[in-house]
């Protein structure tokens, strides 16, 4: 089901303190007119909104399932697409709070309701009368290609979620799902606690040696300096700090999230999740969770995903050995994981005369945002105009997106804060559709930059901005008829393809010359610096590829292990040893804080999808490069028509062939990373 699963029914006692005054309308239940009324929402309103929207949704499902008329596309699948709108809207809004404003009150609600929300999803999927109607429509092969695709998606989702099980099996499955929902919440909240409460406080300037002034300024708090336990803060510190002892301390703090013992330790949580997933997969008729998870992916099987990863792994490891040799020549000692970023930066300076500090002043957050808009205009004809709209915080911006009329809206929430998930991501507040009437998408991008007077980004952070904006553009370009098939509602190993493809436009001459403006001089990035960036494009690819692949391979092996007792620490250690993991690097995400895998089913047995999508992304970008113009109008029009607009209205492999005229090959990926084939 496309609806997010956060909530379900409550006891009268738990609801009572939150019920709206008699006759009042809970604002969370109201349609966006035209945007979410964040100025009217309160956390205390959610229980009543959940109760009312679930009651309405149950009634809608009952009407569809119990009607006497023979199943047709209109009275079954079209009716399903039009059901649960209130419920979906409330769920999405709660998701905004849990990902960006997750204080203690929100966490308490999430802990109580996430299992019940999973039960609600099971209630719909396990409705036998409803499934029989879906099955009848699916087998009738009625309608146009998009309607047939919608029937296929519904049928397969219901089957994969247990619609064919007998009553006893359905009950067991629902118990698994509710337990998993509670464990996902526990995992996420443990991780968030470690990120918020674990930090390093410096009271001496001697502790800040090597750090750029902009970084020092962003750390300043009440006469001291605070290093937050977030990726952007830690990676910057590990890159620049001259203090090896403090780099080690910072690295160990960052890499130990969820693995510190005590009440926030995630090791047992992970073990419980893995066992329940294995049992659920077996109940559904699959040998492992990985086989169940990849059933409707582009890869189709875990073996195909592993084959791709192992094609790249040897070349990545070989490059790491070369990188370590270069670093040791400078360091004069063995390279440890807390040294890698620091000495890699020195090698880049020596080899390419390029220093991250030389780049960073040109990547001002506000200026780079203009680069995003430029890319969107050149590729898709979009214009962005800032508008006044209620937001959860004053530093969140809202833009109307137009192209010969209203297209949608884009929210930008760039700054780190307590209660906000780490990393960067895209949300859809509303999915595009053209079903009952045209509905414009509302999308958001979220980052975790340290807020300061002038926010300067690393190259990686700048690239991530273009990546996440690519997801937003995917949602904004959508032209599907039905919301289930619209925007980013595509296969997991396809969804990262548009976002990764858009990363390439950061380093186009058009963007760098206009939007890479020096923070102090106001001058654009000089040609010689652009040339250095281009020459160093394959630099440190051994590190980035290996840390990613290690995480993806461990993910797949965890979910191929089956119903066995797993000690996450030992499994990680043993698997990496068998792979010959370079000792100078650890996984990008160690198991106890691997949120992609254990905060939901999201990327579980699917972290490989970044690599799978990257093969498509590099192959696709070559189509632009072959014209000599990265914004070639003919190629961009084809990409928009065949990839960005179609959503899940057709098989993703066919969508790619429609754009490229053939299947993607691994050649462009290897070239981009500087690896030999």
**pLDDT by residue (tens digit) across 194-242?**
999 999 999 899 999 999 998 999 899 888 999 999 888 999 999 999 9
Q: Per-residue confidence at 23, pLDDT binned at 50, 70, 90?
A: low
Checking DSSP bridges between strand 442-449 and strand 406-415, what pairing results, if any?
parallel
**What distance in Å separates the CA atoms of residue 568 and residue 591, rounded to the nearest whole number?**
7
Q: Above 60 in pLDDT, residue 67?
A: yes
| Cα–Cα distance list, 608 to 471, 474, 585 (Å) | 18, 21, 19
Helix, strand, coil tally for the chain in percent (to 5): 60, 10, 35
- Cα 401 versus chain centre, distance: 22
Residues with Cβ within 8 Å of 443's Cβ and at least 6 positions away in sequence, in order, are 408, 409, 410, 411, 426, 427, 428, 429, 471, 472, 475, 476
Alpha helices in 256-390 (DSSP H): 267-283, 289-293, 302-331, 340-352, 356-359, 365-380
Give the alpha-carbon dihedral of 484, 485, 486, 489, to 10 degrees.
80
Examine the pLDDT at 562 and tell me if it is beyond 60. Answer: yes
pLDDT at 292 over 90: yes
Rounded Cα distance between 499 and 631, Å, is: 16
pLDDT of 453 higher than 90: no
- Neighbour tally for 59: CB within 10 Å: 11
Decide: 379 and 402 in contact? Cβ < 8 Å.
Answer: no
Say if CB 505 and CB 412 are below 8 A apart. no
Q: Could you tell me if 492 and 290 are in contact, meaning their C-beta atoms sit under 8 angstroms apart? A: no
pLDDT of residue 2: 35
Buried/exposed 571-601: b ≥16 CB within 10 Å, e otherwise: bbeebbeebebbebbbbbbbbbbbbbbbbbb
**Which uninterrupted H or E stretch holds 400?**
strand 397-402
Produce one character per residue of 284-295: b if its CB has 16 or more CB atoms within 10 Å, e if not: bebebbbbbbbe
Residue 359's closest CA among 341, 631, 368?
Answer: 368
Which parts of 198-264 fold into alpha helices (H)?
213-219, 231-240, 244-255
Kindly tell me if the per-residue pLDDT of 6 is higher than 70: no
Max CA separation in the chain (angstroms): 80
> pLDDT category, 356, cuts 50, 70, 90?
confident
Average pLDDT across the chain, whole number:
94
pLDDT of residue 9: 27
pLDDT at residue number 334: 96
Burial 199-231 (b: 16+ CB within 10 A, else e): ebebeeeebbebbbebbeebbeeeeebebbbbb
Helix (H) or strand (E) holding 226: strand 224-227
**Distance between CA atoms of residues 365 and 194, nearest Å:** 27
Task: Give ∠ CA 544-230-674 in degrees, rounded to 5.
Answer: 10
CA distance linking residue 213 with residue 121, whole number of Å: 50
- pLDDT exceeds 60 at position 559: yes
Question: How far is the C-alpha of 359 from the C-alpha of 260, rounded, in Å?
Answer: 36
CA dist., res. 126 & res. 450, Å (int): 46
Q: 524 has which bridge partners?
A: 517
Q: Tell the burial category of 246 from Cβ atoms under 10 Å away from its Cβ (0-12, 13-18, 19+).
A: buried
Rounded distance between C-alpha atoms, residue 269 and residue 211, angstroms: 37
- Band the pLDDT of 10: cuts 50, 70, 90: very low
A 10 A CB-CB count for 274 gives 25
> Of 14 and 560, which is predicted with more confidence?
560
Residue 355 C-beta-side C-alpha neighbours within 13 Å: 8
Band (116; pLDDT cuts 50, 70, 90): confident
Which of the pair, 6 or 455, is modelled with greater confidence? Answer: 455
**Which residues on adjacent β-strands are paired with residue 400?**
385, 409
Residue ranges and CATH numbers for the domains of the chain are 12-164 (1.10.1370.40), 199-256 (no CATH), 362-525 (1.10.1370.40)
Percentage, residues of the chain above pLDDT 70? 96
Candidates 312, 369, 384, 310; CA nearest to 578 is 310
Instruction: Write a three-state SS string for 406-468.
Output: EEEEEEEEEECCCCCCCCCEEEEEECCEECCCEECCEEEEEEEECCCCCCECCHHHHHHHHHH
For 257, how many CA atoms within 13 A lie in the half-sphere containing its CB? 29
State pLDDT tens for residues 338-348: 999 999 999 99
Predicted local confidence at residue 15, as pLDDT: 28
- The confidence score (pLDDT) of residue 397 equals 98
pLDDT in tens, 628-674: 999 999 999 999 999 999 999 999 999 999 999 999 999 999 999 99
Q: Tell whether pTM > 0.75.
A: yes
Residues known to be catalytic = 468
Q: How far apart are CA 133 and CA 557, in angstroms?
A: 38
What average pLDDT does this structure show over 253-263?
96
Block residue for tokens 């294995």? 278
Going by DSSP bridges, is the β-strand pair 425-430/397-402 parallel, antiparallel, or unpaired?
unpaired
């Amino acid at each position: 089901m496309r609806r997010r699963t956060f909530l379900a029914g409550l006891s009268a006692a738990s609801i009572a303190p939150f019920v709206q005054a008699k006759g009042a309308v809970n604002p969370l239940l109201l349609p966006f007119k035209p945007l979410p009324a964040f100025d009217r929402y309160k956390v205390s309103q959610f229980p009543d909104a959940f109760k009312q929207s679930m009651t309405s949704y149950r009634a809608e499902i009952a009407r569809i399932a119990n009607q006497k008329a023979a199943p047709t596309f209109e009275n079954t699948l079209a009716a399903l697409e039009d059901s649960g709108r209130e419920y979906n809207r409330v769920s999405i809004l709660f998701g905004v709070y849990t990902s960006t404003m997750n204080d203690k009150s929100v966490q308490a609600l999430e802990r109580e309701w996430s299992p019940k929300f999973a039960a609600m999803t099971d209630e719909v999927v396990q409705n036998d009368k409803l499934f029989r109607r879906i099955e009848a429509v699916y087998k009738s092969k009625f309608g146009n290609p998009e309607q047939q695709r919608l029937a296929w998606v519904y049928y397969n989702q219901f089957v994969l979620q247990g619609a064919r099980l007998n009553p006893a099996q359905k009950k067991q499955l629902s118990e698994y799902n509710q337990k998993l929902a509670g464990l996902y919440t526990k995992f996420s909240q443990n991780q968030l606690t470690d990120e918020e409460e674990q930090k390093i406080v410096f009271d001496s300037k001697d502790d800040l040696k090597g750090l750029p002034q902009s970084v020092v300024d962003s750390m300043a708090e009440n006469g001291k300096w605070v290093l937050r336990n977030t990726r952007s803060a830690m990676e910057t510190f590990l890159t620049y700090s001259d203090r090896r002892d403090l780099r080690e301390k910072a690295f160990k703090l960052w890499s130990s999230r969820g693995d510190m013992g005590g009440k926030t330790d995630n090791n047992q949580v992970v073990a419980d999740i893995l066992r329940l997933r294995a049992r659920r997969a077996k109940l559904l008729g699959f040998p492992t969770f990985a086989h169940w998870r990849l059933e409707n992916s582009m890869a189709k099987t875990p073996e195909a995903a592993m084959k791709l990863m192992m094609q790249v792994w040897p070349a990545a490891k070989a490059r790491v050995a070369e990188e370590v040799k270069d670093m040791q020549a400078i360091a004069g000692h063995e390279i440890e994981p807390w040294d890698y970023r620091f000495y890699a930066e020195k090698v880049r300076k020596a080899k390419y005369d390029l220093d991250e500090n030389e780049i960073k002043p040109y990547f001002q957050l506000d200026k780079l945002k203009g680069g995003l808009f430029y890319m969107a205009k050149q590729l898709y004809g979009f214009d962005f105009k800032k508008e006044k709209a209620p937001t959860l915080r004053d530093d969140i911006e809202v833009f109307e997106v137009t192209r010969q009329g209203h297209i949608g809206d884009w929210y930008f929430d760039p700054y780190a804060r307590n209660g906000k998930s780490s990393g960067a991501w895209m949300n859809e507040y509303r999915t595009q559709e053209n079903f009952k009437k045209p509905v414009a998408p509302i999308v958001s991008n979220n980052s975790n930059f340290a807020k300061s007077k002038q926010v300067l980004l690393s190259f990686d952070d700048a690239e991530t901005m273009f990546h996440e904006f690519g997801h937003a553009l995917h949602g904004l370009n959508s032209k599907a008829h039905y919301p289930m098939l619209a925007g980013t509602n595509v296969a997991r190993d396809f969804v990262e393809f548009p976002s990764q493809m858009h990363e390439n436009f950061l380093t186009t001459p058009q963007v760098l010359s206009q939007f890479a403006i020096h923070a102090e001089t106001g001058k654009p990035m000089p040609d010689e610096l652009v040339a250095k960036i281009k020459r160093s494009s394959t630099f440190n690819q051994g590190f980035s590829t290996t840390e990613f692949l290690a995480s993806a391979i461990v993910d797949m092996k965890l979910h191929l292990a089956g119903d066995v007792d797993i000690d996450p620490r030992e499994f990680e250690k043993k698997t990496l040893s068998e792979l010959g993991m370079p000792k100078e690097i650890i996984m990008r995400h160690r198991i106890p804080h691997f949120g992609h895998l254990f905060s939901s089913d999201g990327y579980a047995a699917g972290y490989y999808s970044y690599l799978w999508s990257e093969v498509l992304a590099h192959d696709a970008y070559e189509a632009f490069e072959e014209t000599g113009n990265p914004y070639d109008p003919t190629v961009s029009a084809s990409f928009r028509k065949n990839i960005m607009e179609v959503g899940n209205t057709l098989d993703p492999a066919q969508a790619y062939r429609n754009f490229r005229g053939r299947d993607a090959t691994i050649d462009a990926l290897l070239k981009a990373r500087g690896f030999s084939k």
